[in-house]
A and B are shown apart, each in its own frame.
Chain A
Amino acid sequence: MARVLTKGNEAIAEAILQAGCEAFFAYPITPQNEIPEYCAREMPKRGQGFFLQAESEVAGINMIWGAAATGARVVTTTSGPGLSLMLEAVSSLSLTRIPCVIVNVMRSGPGMGDLAPAQEDINMRGNGAYRVPILLPGNVQEAANMVYEAFDIADQYWTPVIVMADGMIGQMMEAVDFDKLPPRRENLPEKTWRLAGTGEKGYRTKMSIHYDYKLTEATDILENESYPAMIANETRWEANDIENADIVLTAYGTAARMCSFVKKKDKYKNINIGIIRPKTYWPFPYLPYEEIGDQCKAILCAEINIMGELIDQVKVATKGRFPVVHVGNRKEGILNTKFIEEALDKLIAEVM
């Protein structure tokens, strides 16, 4: 298949179908509606699984639980307000280790906020201590690739996987080549726990954490088996020119593209500017930040939000070696290359 000009949301939808998704549960929310619309149209045409519109995000994610519990590959897509409603179940899906994929095309909050693109949801989590992989695509091709691979990651480690694309990536059009999706993983573990009735499997499955079950045994598996494996195998980033950098720009998604654009400006040709782009938020890529040379003067963390969400992990990763400065939305609008450039100029004046 040749490169085709595709809207981000539709590329995500096509990747969902090519990943072999068997059930799509949806509740409408902007700016991701093209994904369920595409799948509602295509799934019956292709005779692939089924699409069902739920009465709410709360119901949708609990339908996911039932469907995924049969061993099927399942997905829901939403935006921040919808993900908020789903988190109770995501927490439980994590504990009971049910694979599923959730795509969050992020819009501006807090609250109902507005429909502008945003990077504000990466720290959202339900009750209790748990982690799920969070993938951060930087362009439309990568959004398709990550959504496609998310199904394999979910099945490999028996975990929900969340793909967080800022609204820009969902709404913009770019060339995508669906032949360049990552290879499908082999030898994924058999879903021995699936619910199918005792007759079909020959044994009973009790899928609940209950009164006769020691919760700490379940959470110990998460902490000491599942999470270390994901940290070892699924941590992703892209880093450029960090060893000799005077200043490092760090960002993900669309904000990272803005940083790349700013870095290339002529006026910075005598300054070594490195870039670190996390492609996963959890597991977080600490390593590239450790590889920043000691000559570095400061880190500028660009995010489409106020105050910063990524920045806290960047501070953890840099262990106090460098000042870490946020640049983001302003009164006059959301993050753009001008804001980054101005922040970078100010930082250079202060530290160089």
Chain B
Amino acid sequence: MNYKDIFTRAFSEAAPRRSEADAVREIIEKGKSMKTTRHSVKKIFTCVAAAAAVLIVGGVSVGAATGWDFLGAFDKLFAERAEDASYVSPVDFSKMGKELDESFEGDGYTLNVRGAAASDKTLFLLYDVTFTEEFITENNINKTLIANPVAFLKLGESSSSTNTLYMSEGNTFSYCEMYHCHNSSLSGKTVEVEFRSIDAGNYGIISCDHEFDLKIDFAETDDVHTVELDEAIQTGEDTVILDKIVYDAFSIEFISNGVTPNNHGEIWDTLITGHINKTDGTQIALLSAGGLSDGNTGVGSFIADYTIPVPTEDIASITFGDITIPLT
């Protein structure tokens, strides 16, 4: 059976009805009438950087606040998901995080670490990079949107991260690195963030080379909730047991038993299609964050971010598939 031929023939039947000229005109007119911004947002699951040029090494302490718009940055970060430019988070980031002011000079760029906020499971690290015109010219800067400086969390625990470019203006690109701690907690810990370039490998993207560390202390939080369960989840032909759910204002962690390398992806697909049900009856979708599983023990940890932060007292339950689990 020639599947390529089948899909070629099938989709030759599927085409937009509107004429191309009309469709283009409509978009351009609508686009012009909108209040345009230069911001762009992009979710990146793998970050890259390469090339040995400059090495910066340093351990630094957290600096004082500088008047940079710490809270506004978080609102910008989530405004896209909320589909409302004036979105203001109901979660108080000023209590959960801190404004930072650390700058590092590289060869052709400056990296500014702006602020961080953490719940029990998730850490948001805001930083921006400003490139010089020379660096842009020499390195074909258009590619650097996905070649940001990579930051690694050093907690001695397993973690995963995702990365969002939440704003760009001129030669400055603002990033949010989001870490997710599996089977561990960020509460009351000193987080060591290690900025390192990694090899471009198959991605073939240029960028900066750097190496420096940053320590951030976070106060203990009790705004984390654990629900013990014994819920069977059917994933394809396999059944796994959902042992525990841990949630806070930013994200939710699912801890499962019976996970195999083969059904890891299926479990993730099942959980990520879920949503948080708020006490006011509205729903908050989940975003893919990260999953880790141990092939020997069969224990898997899957963390999903909420599309926008939610105060835990506003969370009523979670639904995925046909299952709804109360979280109160």
Query: Do A and B make up one complex?
Result: no
